[in-house]
Amino acid sequence: MTSSVIGLIVLAVVTVLFGWLASRAWRAHGVGAKWLGGIFASLFTLIFAALAILGAVGTYKLFRSNSVSVPDVTASGAPEQVARGEHLAEVLCAGCHSLSGNLPLSGGKNLSADAGMPLGDIYAPNITPAGDIKDMDDSQLFRLLRTGVSEEGRATAMAAVTGPQALSDEDALAVIAYLRHSPAVENETPGYKPTVLMALLAGAGMVKLDPPSAVTSISAPQKAASVSYGEYIVAYMDCRSCHGQKFDGNVPPPFPPGPNLQADFLGWSKEQFLTEISNHLAAPKPGEVMPWKDVSRLDDVELEALYLYLHETVSK
């Protein structure tokens, strides 16, 4: 909280300073100083006042306590549930919660680096049994996955990541089962310290930090090489955050825009789609943010379903 509060104080001080300059300018005797200085100083006063208000609203959203009701759930921990959860953790979680991009999920890099903006210290924490999850029950973990709200009620960075929120109840419990049975790794990541820029984006609604009041039930289609299951994969892998709602690469900040799939994907066969994934995995381009490793971990059924949905959607 310290970084964002200091930034708010700076904005408030600058607002007061320009307000004082505006007041002096409007009392000046010279016409030029009075009108030119008064107009510009007043304009900057309004701009910085608006930024200070946005920052205050955003800081409140970042650190307020949210009340989100959640059903009483428990992961069974059956071998097949743990195995499914491990697969989902590799696909969904390892890219952020591991420096290597592989299991175990012992803590990752500063996520603000992916946005390319100084958003502060937003590290994906250690979520092995040796991390903070050891003090959370399954219902709290379920709420965190589906809404991004921590056990204290604060909206974490997960609140702005819509992918895990699209997981079905069954798959969310599978992830929890794997987390409980994964190897425990002792590792402490830096604490959450967003900057005033993060607060401004939150205040402007450009970063989602408004969780629902209750966790609703979600069901997934039967796993199959189908358009409907491909749509489910696109939802939980959060493809639209980078590629846009229409897969045209048109996305609002702070997410980095992805390629226009309407131009790149149109006309590809399934074999070309799979070859493209293999080529990028073998020779990744420097600076590319597309999680090819995560996509490549989808099994054959999931990849075919993903292709069918994208082909059906992008071709329209």
Average pLDDT over residues 5-27: 92
Mean pLDDT computed over every residue of the chain: 90
- Count of CA atoms in the C-beta half-sphere (13 A) of 25: 19
**79-194 and 227-314, same CATH topology:** yes
Which overall architecture, per CATH, does domain 227-314 show? Orthogonal Bundle (1.10)
Taking the model in full, what pTM does it have? 0.90
Tokens representing 103 are: 């299991």
**pLDDT tens, residue by residue, 116-172:** 788 999 999 999 999 989 999 999 999 999 999 999 999 998 998 889 999 999 999
Residue 254 clears pLDDT 70, i.e. is over it: no
Q: Domain coordinates of the chain in residue numbers?
A: 2-63, 79-194, 227-314
Beta strands in 12-99 (DSSP E): none
3-state secondary structure 94-145: HHHHECCCCCCCCECCECHHHHCCCCEECECCCCCCCCHHHHCCHHHHHHHH
Contact (Cβ atoms closer than 8 angstroms) between residue 143 and residue 123: no
Across 6-10, 228-232, 234-238, least confident range? 6-10
* Nearest alpha-carbon partner for 211 in 167, 163, 152, 146: 146
Question: The CATH number of 79-194 is which of 1.10.760, 3.40.1350, 1.10.1060, 1.10.287?
Answer: 1.10.760
pLDDT at residue 253 tops 80: no
Q: Tens digit of pLDDT for each residue in 53-104?
A: 999 999 999 999 999 998 899 999 999 999 999 999 999 999 999 999 999 9
Amino acid residing at 24: R
- When pLDDT is cut at 50, 70 and 90, the band that residue 197 belongs to is very high
Model confidence pLDDT, tens digit, residues 259-311: 888 777 767 888 888 888 888 776 666 667 788 889 989 999 999 999 999 88
Per residue in 18-36, pLDDT tens? Answer: 999 999 999 888 887 788 9
